[in-house]
Structure formats: C-alpha cells, structure tokens
Amino acid sequence: MGGPGRTNAYIEIMRLPSIEQLVRVGRTSAGRFPLVLLSAAIAAAAGVLLPESSLDDDMLTGFLYVATLGIPLFLAIDLVAERRGTSDRTRWIARLAAITLLVAVYIGRLSWSEPVELLRYVQLSVAFHLLVAVSPYLGVREWNGFWQYNRTILLRFLMAAVFSVVLYVGLAIALLAVDNLLGVDVQAETYFRLWCVIAFLFNTWFFISGIPDDLEALDRRTDYPPALKVLGQYILSPLVTVYLLIITAYLVRILVTRVWPSGWIGYLVSSVAAAGILSLLLLYPIEEREENRWVRSYARWFYFGLIPANAMLLLAIWKRIQQYAVTEPRYFLVILSLWLAGISLFYAFSRSRNIKVIPATLAILAVVTFAGPWSAYAVSRRSQTARLENLLERNGMLVEGGVRTPPSEVSFDDRREISAVLRYLAENHGTASIESWFPEGRLAEVDTIAGGSEPTERRHADERAALITAELGLDYVGSWTPGEGGGFNFSVDWDGPPLRISGYDFVVRDRSTLGDTVRVEGLPVAFAYDEDVLAVVMLRDGEEVLSLSLTQLIERALDYARSRPPNTRIPAELLTVEGEIEDLRIAVSVTSIHGVVDGPADPVDGEVSAFRVTRLHADYFFSAGP
C-alpha cells in the first residue's frame, strides 16, 4: 500500500499542464532554439505554398530541402553552446557558419540530379541528427548521462510524432465534416497544407519543448524503464542469437561447397547487426548490475560473431562491384560494412563502455563521403565511366580515345551493359565524362534532350541513352528488356490504330488458353496452347486443324520494347499472328502475354530464342471453314 507521499506524487504526475504553462514552455523553447523554429516555419511555409503556387516549384522545394536540414543542424549547435556555456557572440558565429553551409547546399542542389539530390539529403540528415544525439557529450565522460539524454529525446520524438498524427487526423476529420455537412468547399490541397504546418511547425515545437535544459543532471539518473529490458533481453537478444547461428551455418556451408555468398546475405547481416547493436544499447545502463553481468559477455561474443558475417557481406558486395562496378548504393554498403567491421573489432577486443563511438563515427562517415574525389558520387561516376570504357574497348569501339562503330557483332549482354551505363550517367551525373571520346561537338549534337551534358530527369534517361547508343552503332537495350532467364510482360496498346479484321466470320474475345470450347454452327471449337512448340492450336471437334507459332510475335514485341520506356504498350499489329489452311483462316491477336526467356535473347545465326509463356490472353478471329 502506498502512503500519502506516493498519492501526492501520482496526482502531480497526472496533473495536466495549464494553458499558461504551455505558453510559457513554448516561449522558453522559442528563446532557446530560435533558428530551429525559424527553420521549421520556413519548411511549413514552403510546404503550404508548394501546391498550385505562382512561385517557382524548384525554389520552394529548395527551401523545404534546406529548412528541414536546418532543424537538426541548428539544434545541435544550440545544444553544444548550452552545454559548454559559450557566449552569444560565439553561438551566433556558429549559427552563421551553419547558414552559410545551408546556402551552399541550396546552390549545389541546383546542379544535382534527382537521385544524387535525394542521397545527399539522406546523408546530411543522418549526419545532423546524429550530431544532435552525440555533440552535447563530446569530450565528456558521462556514459549514463549520454544514454539518458538519448532515451529522453527518442521518447520525446515518438511522443511528438504520435501527437502530431492525432492532431492532424482530428483536424482533417473536422475539415471533412465542414465540407460535407456545411457545404464549405475544402480543397484537397488544404489537407496537405495542414499536414505541413503540423509536421514541421507543431511537431518541432513540441519536440524541442521537452529537451532537458540541465544535461549534467542526467548522469545522476538511475531510473530504467522495465519495458526496455523486456525488449532488449527477452526479444531482441534471442532473435539476434538465432540469426547469428543461421549466418554462421551459412558460412560453414560456403566453406564446404565453395559457392559464392548470395547477395541476399547483405540484408540479413545488416538487419542482425542493427538489431544486435540496438539490444545492447537498450541494456547498457543495467549491464553492470550483478544479475545482468551476462550482457558484457554477450556483447563481446556478439561482436566476434559479426566479424565472419561481415566478411561474407564484403565478399558479396565485391562480387557485384567486379561485375557491374561501383554505384552510390554499393559504395555506401561497402562503407557501412567497413564501419561495422571496425566497430566489431573495437568492441570485441577492448573493454570500452564508450557507446558514443557508434553515432560519432557514423556522423563522421556521412560527412566525409558527402563531397570530394573520394565521395560516393565522384567514385561512382569514375567507376561507371571506366566500366563503359572497358566494354567499348573490348568490342573494338574505343580506339586511341575515340569511339567508332563496332567492327563485329556486339553480344546482347554487352549491349545491355553499355546501355545501362549510359542510362546511369545520363540520369545521375550527365555525359561530361565521356564527351572527349566523341569528335568535337558531336555528343552535343546527338544528346539533344538535356540541352548540354548535365543530368536529366529519370523519364528522359532512357531516351538520352538510346540516342547515344544509336550514335555508337548499337541497338539500345532497356533495363526491362529480358535476357536469358529474364521475364517479359507485354500488353496491347488499346489507344493505337484499329486492327483490320476483314475475311473472318467469328471472334472469341479476350480468352485465356485454357481450352475453352465454343460451338460454331453446331461444331465445338476450342483454342489451346502447345507448350512444346510455343504455339496456339485451334481444335475443331477435338481435332487439331491449325497451329500458329508465337515465337516471332514475342521477338517482335521484344525488339519494339528494347528502345522504349518501361511498361510501353505494344501496337496490336505486332502482337497479331495469322495462318490459313485450305478455306480456314485464323488470327490470334494477343492482348497480354507474360513469360520467361529460356534461351538466348539475342540469338546469332543458327540459334533460336526459346521462350516459356506463363500467361496468355488473346482475341481469336477465324473463318467458318468447311
């Protein structure tokens, strides 16, 4: 039974804050973090103006881009300044430096492609949020305080997210009621604008209002939520152990069979590493207690177990890089794998309890790999350009630094790789890196879509790459064009010109090849698919009367789709095959066909493409016959 003191404490906890208290806390937060709130307000304003605005969309997107980065950046600066007791002059110098950085990012993004812009945003966002987590405790040996601080801001973040969602849903329903019950026209954009105000302004303001102002006092806190122990000790740790055993068994299998590790291993190792590190961080404050001494031993064995798993991950990534060179995602996967290897070695062979190493080193990596000749973007551009150079030289198409048409037939796989690199460069980095291979000004004459060598939008990348491959004397191969073992999926272009059907008496519309039977002038007629000869067979009274091969139809569709955007619909005449025997005529007009390429997708003389059809729908036109 609890006494009066416990009751009073409970009442104090359950007491709701007054309006006056909320206003006071909000005003205090605005004074503590003025540029954080200014950034949130700019982000909210940009989001509100973005739909149907007379202002330039790219300018508003840029404001939204840098303002959302400014929120964690200015928060980290202000928290460090508070902790170190720096003067207002020093604090404003740091803030001006951050503003200069954000202006540089705004200007830089104008020349970045969409994929690069997104990746760089993620990099900076991760770096700045990690700075918020670690910067107030740099140079301070307060391990418990660091953990309590991050627990506090994480819970505050989750609470702010829940409150923001609840507030938005409530106000959105209110707007919907006003629209439907009172007849007030509420435009669809209003809901998006409301979300921007709540997500950026309210959410940020609520979050920063709960950040402790006395960080030194956190190191003296000893409270620990039991739910975290349950999650870390009884859920995450057993799961991580099971998956580490699976990975170790897979490693033994690789050593025995000498089969290269699957690329899928990357997802498993990354997930296990993240879950294991999270479980150890959750249990960190109680690992020194007598009943939890096992955590230290478990942590060392966990990091030891990650070392061979991480070696497998690096081997799998290296195989992909050898085949297809470096791209930004592969670059980051290598960097994270090396980081994970370093973290594993550090904690496995040392007795350090410094958990600040994890966020601090990740933040450093995010910043270091952002720009410069060693950055993900510069390395990937050079690697892919070198890959293209090797492909062209191997096929005799690049001689003494200049391109020429191929002296012999170029294989389908090489054409696909050449097309893929050109598409990657056109979309991510532009074509400046290959401009010197062409006669002066020739690439600009061919590559006319971008208006220069700059990167273009994704929807134009295939068209640009197709123009350049044509200049090289090659047929463009799209990423969706199946090679051997790849799948195809074609549908008819319903908006194309009508199909001529003269000379036919009957039609069976949009049937699958399941042997459905119809009666024509008293005789049963059916259509079936003969997998052995890749043909549609017409049966009359159970007897085969005509067989139409689909091989050339599929090859025509493949040829048409190779130089066009993905999911392009095929003209009806290309998906139609006709046949005639005596006075019986039949036309099969395919509406959709799915399948797999079982043989060479680009056969040479004497070879025949082998296809396996998995689904077929068509219209069947035929004459009456005798």
Question: Residue 7: is its pLDDT beyond 50?
Answer: no
For residue 560, list its beta bridge partners: none
Residue 78 burial (C-beta neighbours within 10 Å; 0-12, 13-18, 19+): buried
Mean pLDDT on 294-302: 76
Question: Measuring CA to CA, how many Å separate 179 from each of 173, 182, 189, 194, 481?
Answer: 10, 6, 13, 15, 48
Please state, in angstroms and rounded to a whole number, the distance separating the CA atoms of residues 546 and 526.
11
Least confident of 68-72, 106-110, 299-303, 501-505: 501-505
Which of 251, 234, 167 has its CA nearest to residue 206? 167
37-88 per-position pLDDT tens digit:
999 999 999 988 887 766 667 788 889 999 999 999 999 999 999 888 888 8
Confidence of residue 553 (pLDDT cuts 50, 70, 90): confident
More confident residue, 201 or 490: 201
DSSP 110-163: TTS-HHHHHHHHHHHHHHHHHHHHHGGGTT---HHHHHHHHHHHHHHHHHHHHH
Tell me what percent of the residues of the chain surpass a pLDDT of 90: 23
570-587 per-position pLDDT tens digit:
888 888 888 887 777 888
Element (H, E) at 306: helix 294-324
- CB–CB of 544/538 below 8 Å? yes
- CB–CB of 509/501 below 8 Å? no
pTM higher than 0.85:
no
Question: Residue 284: is its pLDDT beyond 90?
Answer: no
Mean pLDDT on 499-505: 76
Question: Residue 6: is its pLDDT beyond 60?
Answer: no
DSSP 456-493: --HHHHHHHHHHHHHHTT-----TTS--TT-EEEEEB-
Confidence of residue 521 (pLDDT cuts 50, 70, 90): low
Tell whether the torsion through CA atoms of 571, 574, 575 and 576 is positive or negative.
Answer: positive
- CB–CB of 357/346 below 8 Å? yes
Mean pLDDT on 559-569: 71
Half-sphere exposure of 595 (CA within 13 A, CB side): 26
Please state, in angstroms and rounded to a whole number, the distance separating the CA atoms of residues 444 and 491.
35
365-378 per-position pLDDT tens digit:
999 999 899 999 99
Most confident listed range (251-255, 280-284, 587-591): 587-591
Which of 266, 72, 233 has its CA nearest to residue 153? 72
Please state, in angstroms and rounded to a whole number, the distance separating the CA atoms of residues 507 and 587.
9
Residue 306 burial (C-beta neighbours within 10 Å; 0-12, 13-18, 19+): buried
What's the pLDDT at 563? 61
What's the pLDDT at 441? 77
444-456 per-position pLDDT tens digit:
778 777 667 788 8
Pair of tokens at residue 91: 């604090």
Least confident of 155-169, 216-230, 287-301: 287-301
Please state, in angstroms and rounded to a whole number, the distance separating the CA atoms of residues 66 and 351.
40
What's the pLDDT at 513? 58
Mean pLDDT of the chain: 82
347-403 per-position pLDDT tens digit:
888 877 788 888 999 999 999 999 899 999 999 999 999 999 999 999 999 888 888
